[in-house]
Amino acid sequence: MNILFAASEAHPLVKTGGLADVAGSLPRAIRNSRQEIRLILPAYPPAIKHAGRLKVVAELPLPGAAAPVRLLQGQLPHSRVTLYLVDAPAYFDRPGGPYSTPEGNDWPDNAERFALFARAVCRVALNRAGLAWQPDVVHCNDWQTGLVPALLSLEATRPATLFTIHNLAYQGLFDHDRFRSLQLPEDWWSMEKLEYHQQLSFIKGGLVFADHITTVSPTYAREIRTPQFGCGLEGLLEHRRQHLSGILNGVDYRVWNPGQDALLPYTYNAHRPAAKQNNKAELQKAFGLPVQSERMLFGHVGRLVEQKGIDLILQLLPELLQRRLQLVILGTGQPALEEALRAAGRKHPDRIGIRIDYDEALAHLVEAGADSFLMPSRFEPCGLNQLYSLRYGTPPIVRRTGGLADSVVDASEEALARHTASGFVFTDASAADLLQAIDRALALYARPAAWKQLMLTGMRADFSWTRSAAAYIDLYTRLSDLRPVARTRPGKTSSTDTLTVSN
């Protein structure tokens, strides 16, 4: 099978969150199952920098672009996955992040940027980019690729489309003027198509037009059909429920494995877990906390946004300070949350360590050095940090929602007795429920043998991509059987200009 995988970020090329971890590892797992999968991303400067050797394989005149858009071809690093970068410098060659300015505001032309990206993806999807390669399935991810299934629906012959929701809270909403300037079909401005409360919704392009929709955990696939989690799209998702399913994300254990993690000062594994303590001391030092091995250390890494329930942790600080524990938090996000955390860190420098930063090495050290990982998310489509915590022997404390509910087994006495417990699960998004879970963790931590068993159960759990990649391949097969495309014989690509990038 030929699969085109479209995303707006992929590790190690460019990353803001878990989508990059998935887009950087799922295609590789699928390629290792001998399917021809190719990844397509916008050519942001860090993506060009980290991709290494690239060559220009096509120049595409596209509506909305003053100059032809170049398609650069290379390789997703450390994989056999072919990579295409959509090179439109006026849109993507900028400082700042993939979606926002260096100051953290959305780029004002995000609608144009991701419409252009979608049009380039469609050219490749329809074998109209001169690559002599016809995908059977186009796998789109999140709102940035939402127009792809919509635009492809206008074609008489097209590959099957799959749209994966990584986070329904981000929908790509723009005003009517934008809709007009993008020159999309007039009749798409309707509730049945791309209009959402008088706005253009990119994500609806995926939800309405894709042949199938997945999300990144079975529980979230059910939750988003309810008003509490549906972000206003629950009616549409309920309507499409026959074509909606959940596949839990996997972990790239080459990147997230304490036994061979080059970003850690000390490696360890389930057979030799002792060196975890050395990482704890390093973590305490990194955050300027007193090095106290017996004191329980809680950690958190993530985007500082309401989704992650960071405000619940803030509310609890007075209570937490009455307990014998330390807390470290690494993240960036909403300015008010950043400031509140900074202030707490300044006030209690020997108990609370705060780093407002995006720092990959430190994220690994928090996973390795903390005793327990806090993840009190209000909603969590899948969540990867709790999966990393399990492997790093850092039992997570999670709310029973989305992928958290699907991956962590609560340390009830029964589950402990059966050796299936791997963390602490609480139900309500309230400070009181979170505190109860933290207290249960403190109590179990005081029982070294029971704690060790909890750690080891998590460390031995297998969330590698194998099972999930097989589920995607099964789905791709069913979709392409329903909508077969004419095959072309593999041939040479059109242009062979070579652009070599030195890093």
Interacting span for ligand GLC (CB under 6 A) from 77-85, 381-389, 406-414, 483-491: 381-389
Out of 150, 255, 301, 382, name the contact with ligand GLC by CB under 6 A. 382
Sheet holding 372-375, edge to edge: 352-356, 325-333, 296-304, 372-375, 396-399, 424-426
Q: Over 225-246, what HEC string results?
A: CCCCCCCCCHHHHHHCHHHEEE
| Site residues (CB under 6 A) for ligand GLC, limited to 206-225 | 216
What is d(CA 451, CA 416) in angstroms, rounded to the nearest whole number?
Answer: 10
* Distance in Å, CB of 223 to ligand GLC, minimum: 12
- Backbone phi and psi for residue 131, each to the nearest 5 degrees, phi listed first: -95, -5
What is d(CA 89, CA 42) in angstroms, rounded to the nearest whole number?
Answer: 10
What is d(CA 37, CA 27) in angstroms, rounded to the nearest whole number?
Answer: 6
Residues 6+ apart with CB under 8 A from 22: 7, 141, 166, 216, 249, 384
Interacting span for ligand GLC (CB under 6 A) from 43-51, 377-385, 452-460, 480-488: 377-385
For position 390 contacting ligand GLC by CB under 6 A, the verdict is no
- Total residues at interface with ligand GLC (CB under 6 A): 14
Alpha carbons within 13 angstroms on the beta-carbon side of residue 146 total: 26
CA distances from residue 194 to 189, 199, 203, 208 in whole angstroms, order as listed: 6, 8, 8, 8
For position 248 contacting ligand GLC by CB under 6 A, the verdict is no
* Distance in Å, CB of 249 to ligand GLC, minimum: 5
The first and second tokens of residue 105, run together, are 């505001």
- Total residues at interface with ligand ADP (CB under 6 A): 18
Comparison of 87 and 252: residue with beta carbon closer to ligand GLC:
252
Comparison of 82 and 167: residue with beta carbon closer to ligand GLC:
167
DSSP 106: B
Interacting span for ligand GLC (CB under 6 A) from 84-92, 202-210, 254-262, 374-382: 374-382
Q: Give DSSP secondary structure letters for 387-438.
A: HHHHHTT--EEEESSHHHHTT--B--HHHHHTT---BEEE-SSSHHHHHHHH
* Distance in Å, CB of 258 to ligand GLC, minimum: 20
* Distance in Å, CB of 37 to ligand GLC, minimum: 17
The sign of the CA dihedral 177, 182, 186, 187 is negative
Find which of ligand GLC, ligand ADP, none residue 206 binds, CB within 5 to 8 Å per kind: none
Asked if 415 and 450 touch (Cβ cutoff 8 Å), the reply is no
For position 249 contacting ligand GLC by CB under 6 A, the verdict is yes
* Distance in Å, CB of 377 to ligand GLC, minimum: 8
Out of 316, 384, 454, 475, name the contact with ligand GLC by CB under 6 A. 384
For position 166 contacting ligand GLC by CB under 6 A, the verdict is yes
Find which of ligand GLC, ligand ADP, none residue 273 binds, CB within 5 to 8 Å per kind: none
Comparison of 17 and 46: residue with beta carbon closer to ligand GLC:
17
**Residue from 288, 406, 307, 291 nearest 352 by CA:** 288
The first and second tokens of residue 246, run together, are 């959940």
Comparison of 159 and 309: residue with beta carbon closer to ligand ADP:
309
Comparison of 189 and 358: residue with beta carbon closer to ligand ADP:
358
Find which of ligand GLC, ligand ADP, none residue 177 binds, CB within 5 to 8 Å per kind: none
Bridge-partner residues for 434, per DSSP?
Answer: none
Find which of ligand ADP, ligand GLC, none residue 458 binds, CB within 5 to 8 Å per kind: none
Residues 6+ apart with CB under 8 A from 482: 160, 211
Out of 116, 301, 320, 325, name the contact with ligand ADP by CB under 6 A. 301
What is d(CA 194, CA 206) in angstroms, rounded to the nearest whole number?
Answer: 9
* Distance in Å, CB of 130 to ligand ADP, minimum: 35
Bridge-partner residues for 139, per DSSP?
Answer: 5, 162
Q: Please give the residue whose beta carbon sits closest to ligand GLC in the complex.
A: 18
For position 203 contacting ligand GLC by CB under 6 A, the verdict is no
| Site residues (CB under 6 A) for ligand ADP, limited to 338-397 | 358-360, 363, 382-385
Sheet holding 199-201, edge to edge: 173-174, 199-201, 195-196
For position 172 contacting ligand GLC by CB under 6 A, the verdict is no
For position 21 contacting ligand ADP by CB under 6 A, the verdict is yes
Residues 6+ apart with CB under 8 A from 502: none
| Sites of contact with ligand GLC (CB under 6 A) | 17-19, 22, 166-167, 216, 249, 380-384, 403
| Sites of contact with ligand ADP (CB under 6 A) | 17-19, 21, 301-303, 330-332, 358-360, 363, 382-385
